[in-house]
Amino acid sequence: MTTRSAWPKAILFDLDDTLWPIAPVILQAEQILFAWLREHAPRVTERFTIDSLRQARLELLAREPAFHLDLGKLRRAGLHAAFEEAGEEAAKVELAMEQFFAARNAVRPYEDVLPGLERLKELCIVGSISNGNADLAAIGLSHHFKVSVAAHQLGVAKPDTAIFLEACRLLDVAPGDAVYVGDDVLLDVQGAQRAGLRAVWMNRTGSSRHLEHGVVPDAIVKDFDELLDWLKQEHAREGG
């Protein structure tokens, strides 16, 4: 039987849609990118729209599913293809990607996140695991996390147990002494539990999606306040 400490030694977080909303940020980033393309690579915008560029990426992803590990790489490949088809200078692709990533990292954490991270750092080690391309240094949050593991760097993505185990290894923490917090029932909760971590579903929207998939999170919380309350209850229940 796996033993574990009453208070977890480490708490690991998903990033996009757990610490900040990502969909509106991506939409804005694509608009900023397209405006840059209109000025600096007009042949591309004469031939493509934001929607047709997105559709081309989806078709490329369907042909080459390995791009799931790095959506930034997918976007770069999509731009290269569009530039080639439009007869634009390929060297401009990297400048375009700089525009996109700057806008993609212009996220606004939920109001509970920063005070919540400060409180958690006093209690345990904090890390992150993400399938996305968020740059915590660019966002200004890297100092909150001892370890940040990204799928595009490791070559393995959630829900594969390997990415959770690698984060635990880097933190020198047994999976049973770690908690993972994320918004996705399958990628985050089920993936973490299969790796031996406790898993908390950050359900900010009041969804019942876990019932559809038969997943039973160790806890369901709507924000960091509820997460901290659960941790205290677990500590008391286990006699810590």
* Per-residue pLDDT tens digits for 23-33: 999 999 999 99
* Distance from C-alpha of 173 to C-alpha of 194, rounded to nearest angstrom: 16
User: pTM of the full predicted structure?
Assistant: 0.92
Examine residue 5 and state whether it is found in any structural domain, yes or no: no
Whether 131 and 228 map to the same domain: the answer is yes
Range of the domain at 54: 23-104
Whether 140 and 178 map to the same domain: the answer is yes
Please report, in angstroms and rounded to a whole number, the separation of the first and last CA atoms in the chain. 19
Q: Which pLDDT score, from 0 to 100, does residue 3 have?
A: 56
Whether 132 and 89 map to the same domain: the answer is no
Residue 225 structure tokens: 């306040």
* Per-residue pLDDT tens digits for 123-158: 999 999 999 999 999 999 999 999 999 999 999 999
Count up the domains in the chain and report the number.
2
* Distance from C-alpha of 203 to C-alpha of 206, rounded to nearest angstrom: 6
Domain of residue 62, CATH code: 1.20.120.1600
Whether 204 and 124 map to the same domain: the answer is yes
**Residue 133 CB partners (closer than 8 Å, separation 6+):** 70, 71, 72, 101, 104, 150, 152
Which of 88, 104, 120 marks a domain boundary?
Answer: 104
Whether 45 and 63 map to the same domain: the answer is yes
* Maximum C-alpha span of the chain: 68
The percent of residues in the chain predicted with pLDDT above 90, rounded, is 90
* Per-residue pLDDT tens digits for 169-179: 999 999 999 99
Mean pLDDT score, 4-18? 89
